[in-house]
Structure 1
């Protein structure tokens, strides 16, 4: 198996004006998506670099509320990524993180709001009532947007073309089921996790066969897979 580099793990990218949705996730050997409740416990330093590089490639990052809370998310910062990564975006602004949620139960004092260079977006289903807590999130810098059919459609309407989906497992599974993902990055970590952790992908309602575009490994024993999702 070939050794890995960031450019080979990311692979070819489309022009910035062309829409592309990529999803990224990490898994134990037996298909668990986290260790002690957090996906960061599974990944290697190169896996973290890949995540940051794809964030810099993207126009926005899409993630579910539960993942933001459980992973203690921080925003995307201007100093993340090496020279090669920054060249993927040219001089584009730092991408925002977009949270899709049916509730607004996020701590406005968390580092998700304070440790970022770009205010986050919150996507809620149509006719969701903006509560007093929601107004606290707006005061912390978040903008709240309603969507009707699809959160991805809403992001496209806001001008975002390159979208990175970071999880959790239910969000990625739902988007795969809908045929909304173009590329899937999977890191298989050298762990067997027997505790009651979430599975890699959940909520998939269709059987899908993916096309393997690239595979590699690092010195920490992680295997990196990049798939093209057949439409």
Structure 2
């Protein structure tokens, strides 16, 4: 386990790398550059998924309370990730349940463009992020959504039997110059990008908290045996209040055979997994 200590000097340097004004050097191997360097230095498409969860893998109580799961250092880490990307993606459930601002408040740096996937046009347009004066908001809907009258940049994408295609989502963002992307939630949204083999790194921040029940952080398509599970290479960081697993998903994707071994899910369960994407 590596102890993460991000000084003001290191963070300023990472922001400079993000802007292309500086570059990583091979001999630099401190934990801050190992963890955040791949995000800051990415120039082509880079997708980071982030989950903050309890020891028992929960991200909220059964009633939906998720505000105090991550400790203070876990929240700072999340805000660093936001500051290093171009856009942060959340699903409609996250907006309805958490009313997030998706801004950078705990660190210095730019606020990312906020992207909400609302396939069926379930939001009212009165939600806080549409009116808080923060970073621009992009709302992504299915081409059959009933309403596009929102105070945001609305993008309509073709909706297939399994919902929106994550590739299409990233393509439309790249056309707007948003190539470094953080997929922040919820569980179904993160799962869609992982299932599509689009996530480069997965950050799982674990807080010393036991909830006992409630939703889990990632809801992937079920598998029948553990030998078909993802087993990514991972570096572990002590953040302070939380422990972070930095999982490299893309490197091992070619050797994973879990998709061909997956359990057949009933049609109604499959529909539920992808209902809002």
Task: Give TM-score, length-normalised by structure 1.
Answer: 0.81
Please state whether the residue corresponding to 2:3 is helix, strand or coil: coil
Equivalent residue for 2:181? 163
Q: Secondary structure at the match of 1:203?
A: coil
Q: Which residue of 2 aligns with 1:183?
A: 201
Distance of 1:10 and 1:71 partners within structure 2: 26
Report the aligned-residue RMSD.
2.2
* Alignment partner of 1:208 is 2:230: yes
2:80 is equivalent to residue 53 of structure 1? yes
Query: In the comparison of the two structures, how many residue pairs are matched?
Result: 211
Q: 1:14: how far off?
A: 5.5
Larger RCO, structures 1/2 (Cα 8 Å, 6+ apart)? 1
C-alpha distance in structure 2 between counterparts of 1:176 and 1:102, whole Å: 18
Residue 75 of structure 1 deviates from its aligned partner by 4.2
Q: How does 1:89-100 map to 2 (within 5 A)?
A: 94-100=111-117
How do 1:30-69 and structure 2 match up within 5 A? 30-35=56-61, 37-69=64-96
Give, in whole Å, the separation in 1 of the partners of 2:99 and 2:40.
31
Evaluate the alpha carbon distance shift between residue 29 and residue 75 of structure 1 in structure 2; reply closer, same or farther with a 3 A threshold: closer
Distance in 2 between residues matched to 1:59 and 1:43, nearest whole Å: 23
Partner in structure 1 of residue 49 of structure 2: 23
Q: Is structure 2 residue 210 aligned with structure 1 residue 192? A: yes
Q: Which runs of 5+ in 2 are unaligned?
A: 7-31, 159-164, 224-228, 254-277
CA distance in 2, matches of 1:186, 1:106: 28
**Which of 120, 136, 160 in structure 2 is aligned with 1:119?**
136
Distance 1:53 1:103, change over 3 A: same
Say whether residues 1:144 and 2:154 are aligned partners: yes
Instruction: Give SS of 1:153's match.
Output: helix
How high is the TM-score relative to the length of structure 2? Answer: 0.69
Provide the C-alpha distance between the structure 1 equivalents of 2:205 and 2:231, rounded to a whole number of angstroms. 18
The 8 Å contact of residues 25 and 185 in structure 1, kept in 2 or not, is answered as yes
Q: Name structure 1 gaps, 5 residues minimum.
A: 87-92
Task: Tell me how far apart the structure 2 counterparts of residues 75 and 42 of structure 1 sit (CA, whole Å).
Answer: 16
